Amino acid sequence: MSQSFPQRDERLGKKVVYQIYIRSFNDSNGDGIGDLRGITQRLDYLADLGVDCLWITPFFPSPQNDNGYDVSDYRAIEPIYGTMQDFEELAREAKARGIELMLDMVFNHTSTEHEWFQKALTGDPTYLAYYKFVDAAPDATAKNPGPPPTNWQSKFGGSAWEYVPGLNKWYLHLFDVSQADLDWDNPAVRAEMAAILRFWRSKGVGAFRFDVVNLISKEPAFEDDLEGDGRRFYTDGPHIHEYLQELVREGDIDGAVTVGEMSSTTLDHCIGYTNPSRHELSMTFSFHHLKVDFLGGDKWALTKPNIEQLRDVFRNWQEQMAVGGGWNALFWSNHDQPRPNSRFGDTDRHWYESSTLLPTCTHLMRGTPYIFQGEELGQTIADYTSIDQYRDDVESINYYRILQERGLTPEEAFRVVHARSRDDGRTPMAWDDTRNAGFTTGEPWIGVVGNYSTINAKTECADPQSVRAYFKHLISLRKAEPVIQTGDVRFVDAPIGKVIAYERTLGNVRLLVQCNFSGNRQPALPTEGGELLIGNYPANATDVSTLRPWEARAYIWR
């Protein structure tokens, strides 16, 4: 099925990346906020799990309006997270354990507190040209600025434009009003970003994640979107591939492990981003599989996950990326998603099975798997009961208001936010069963999930049948089995739509994976002559014709 692309770094098929949401991972000084030294303290835990690379969310100086994704200085450390010496110690200790650090680079926008934007506010033409400023009408005033340049909507709700009276201009912010979009059509901006990468490369950083990077190239003419919210004018824009190639070349990261977060992207573009002959990115995050429970495509309208649609999305992206020489980042969870076992499974009646079904489904696919902190423990969605408990997610707080403006009651709006909030996955890492789950000796910045007394790292590290032990086995299989690392992929039509099944092949070796995304028994595909490689139920040789609720099994023929 797939063509041969020998230029691809063979390490990609063996690697597993672990994402750390620094604010919630481990607090070393008792202030209730995770920090760099806290990560260093837990490196042995991560090395034992078997991960190769740590993606750490932004720890640069920031007003924290979007928890670090509003950067005010790309070459320094936010004091609440530590010092540059703390980072250098982390880098040394990680390297000593064979673990690479992946920094999270937010290059589509800066904080409005960044020195560049502050100089722009003084009218400095050099720095005005760093951002997407548009002149307002000559008679515009602070009280009556007139209509914004376009009807584009911010990802966080409301207009994507903000009026600046002192300049009589509007600036574009696709996200929070404090996150001003940079103008990548300006060569000086591109040079600044490349220099930032070289700075961190000099610190020993070997991997980078680029936040919403496919939004950096906008259409040159601003116009109203009469069909949607504006995204078709700034997504996968006219110079995106050119700018990425330049960034890789000038930033000296060709050969480094890189991943791009792609907002509302297309499969064809992601093949282009990741085909190694183009020298852009190692892999991409795409989110189509995490929209199968959006009613009518609306994130803020709830419905049950459509497993048939989920299977079709996986089939399309796995098979077509293989044909085109692209490479997928494999994930269910990150700092912007609710906990997947609560979302796609049944954590009330089948917590273990739901927590192990999901990684079985994706870790054995073609690509590089990502684990979000606590996912390997089976941590569940936040058990909050009030909107006041959501501390970090500006999007959720905005939409709690917007949903009520649309006619929902406060209770209905909260039910939607509780199911969708980014804070649902940002709760503290559960390290043990002591106060605050061992995350901090102080008061945590956001509340821990109440089931930490049983779902925690200390308990699971001591249990050979735990969710964590299962994840560790999956990681070891990827490192041991070439068919998982580099094999072709083909999806198999299962007897029932709630079952997702696919096979990997490499030479004479064949791997069959089948996953039951339901609480009922379902017919299984035939596996005669195959060896059970991994499964999330005790082996039962007397009944292999059915899959039990939320069961996953993988067989191999050699």
Is 261 designated active site? Answer: yes
CA distances from 237 to 92, 106, 175, 218, 231 (A): 38, 17, 17, 5, 10
| Contacts within 8 Å (CB) and 24+ apart, 267-273 | 267/316, 267/317, 267/320, 267/321, 268/324, 269/214, 269/236, 269/240, 270/317, 270/321, 270/326, 270/328, 271/320, 271/321, 271/324, 271/325, 271/326, 272/241, 272/326, 273/214, 273/241, 273/244, 273/326
Helices 267-274 & 240-250 angle (0-180, nearest 10): 20
The helix or strand, by DSSP H or E, that contains position 402, with its residue range, turns out to be helix 394-405
d(C-alpha 280, C-alpha 217), whole Å: 15
Residues ≥6 apart with Cβ < 8 Å to 312: none
φ, ψ of residue 426 in degrees (nearest 5): -100, 10
Cβ–Cβ under 8 Å, residues 372 and 334? yes
d(C-alpha 272, C-alpha 275), whole Å: 6
Is 35 designated active site? Answer: no
Residues forming beta bridges with residue 491, ordered by sequence position: 502
Cβ–Cβ under 8 Å, residues 289 and 270? no
Instruction: Report the first-to-last Cα separation within the chain, whole angstroms.
Output: 20
d(C-alpha 253, C-alpha 264), whole Å: 25
* 169 residue type, one letter: K
- Residue 180's Cβ-count burial label (10 Å; 0-12, 13-18, 19+) is buried
CA distances from 356 to 351, 472, 512, 536 (A): 9, 11, 17, 6
d(C-alpha 457, C-alpha 27), whole Å: 15
Cβ–Cβ under 8 Å, residues 112 and 217? no
The beta strands (E) that lie in 16-81 are given as 17-20, 53-56
Closest C-alpha to 428, from 31, 116, 16 = 31
User: Choosing from 236, 261, 395, 424, which is the catalytic residue?
Assistant: 261
Closest C-alpha to 435, from 425, 424, 447, 423 = 447
User: Choosing from 211, 353, 395, 503, which is the catalytic residue?
Assistant: 211
DSSP for 424-475 reads: GG-SPP--SSSGGGGS-SS--SSPPPGGGGTSSHHHHHT-TTSHHHHHHHHH
Return the structure tokens found at 268. Answer: 């064809």
Q: How many CB atoms lie within 10 A of CB 142?
A: 10
- Residue 54's Cβ-count burial label (10 Å; 0-12, 13-18, 19+) is buried
Positions marked active-site:
211, 261
